[in-house]
Amino acid sequence: MKRIMNVRLYFCLLFAGILMQSCSKEDVAQESQLKISNATTVTSENMVGSWNLTKMMADVEVDLDSNAGGSKNLLDETDCFNTMSITFNSDSTFVSNNAMMSFESGDGNDFSCLSDRMDSGDWYVSDNKLVLELTIDKETFVHEKAIDLGSGTFAFDVSKIESDQYVNDPGNTRASEIRIMMLEYTKVN
């Protein structure tokens, strides 16, 4: 009789273990499906339209406008980048308006704004990355950026080499420590 009770207890524990294991597998499967369904996939349709630069985040706070306090968002400190924008056309072409700050024009605290450099080319989306192909002086350049797509915004990280394309600094200026980390654009139409 004691042996039958032990066998029943064993089977009950075994059944409970199997039941708990199967529940945990279902929970994991449901959790995986939930994560996949909440993932944002970037498509060409998401990108078509006109976008204006709304954030240019640096890794350090800087005071470029010589007022009290500084900001990591360079758009709070200078209007050099206010015209930066990009338009993605449905025919897979794009036009972008770019800008740069240059400290080579004077002493270490003076800078000039070099804006309205227009670039154009072809674009597409591949594996949640935005790919831009443009030709400058008969040489084709391909830029590929992983996109962080938000509601009416997209953002991407900027490398140190790319950062130098926005801030021309010969050294020993108030911008010498700046490394631009991220650009964010907001859709205007």
Is the pLDDT at 24 greater than 50? The verdict is no
166 CB-near residues (< 8 Å, 6+ apart): 56, 81, 99, 100, 101, 158, 180
Mean pLDDT across 53-79: 89
Q: So what's the pLDDT on residue 111?
A: 82
Cα–Cα distance measured from residue 124 to residue 21, given in angstroms and rounded to the nearest whole number: 45
pLDDT band at 40 (very low <50, low <70, confident <90, very high): low
What are φ and ψ of residue 118, in 5° steps? -95, 130
Which pLDDT value is given to residue 121?
Answer: 96
